Amino acid sequence: MIEQAWETLSDPARRASYDRERSRPGQSSSGSGSSDSAPSNHSDDFTRGYAEEAGRSRFREEQAQREREEARQRQYEHDRAAARERARQKKQYASEAARTERLRPYYDAVRKLSEKEKQLHFRGNVRLTYVLALHRAESSQYVVIFVIAALIALNAAFMIMGTATLTGFSYWFALVFNMVVIFLGSGVILVFVSAALLWLAKVAAPRRRNVSDTELQDEYLSAQSNG
């Protein structure tokens, strides 16, 4: 129908005939040696076809508009979800950074421990303050042993030489010899004694069960703040 209307309107002769027939209803028009349908039918067909095409065009435009609105709505929801996720991650990072900063003294203290002391703390759930005390005792035991052995050797050597009848070079030689011997002997004894005491302290460490890492951390931080 649209093609027929276009053929009629695009040909000047047929369009003039169509216009004449419009002014004289009831008669048929002819052109190009062939008869055409009634002008009124052409007009109705053209009007109906134009209206249908216009309706379809409006439907396509409205559908495209709805699709654009839905796309904008989806993009808006996506942007809002992305903004919420960024805010959540930022809050989480800030919380983790604050927690790490709060636990920094605990981590610094743990790094000072040996592997066996870390196992005693984490596997045995022994308080970190107790393990640190053992660590300090083990680190300083040889200095303490040296000082005690030197004092014992000096005191014992002078007591021995106080009863000796030696004089001159022989006296000083015997004094130094006695000091060295007594120092070495007492030092060896003190090393075994201190090692035994530290072993007993580790064996007697108050081990616990069902203690979480958070509780171990809070115990140490609480002891540090109270101390």
- pLDDT, one tens digit per residue, over 176-201 is 999 999 999 999 999 999 999 999 99
Q: On the CB side of 75, how many CA atoms lie within 13 Å of its CA?
A: 6
- Residues in the chain with pLDDT values less than 50: 27-37
How many Cβ atoms sit within 10 Å of the Cβ of residue 130? 16
The confidence score (pLDDT) of residue 30 equals 44
The confidence score (pLDDT) of residue 227 equals 64
For the chain, the structural domain boundaries read 2-23+36-88, 114-220
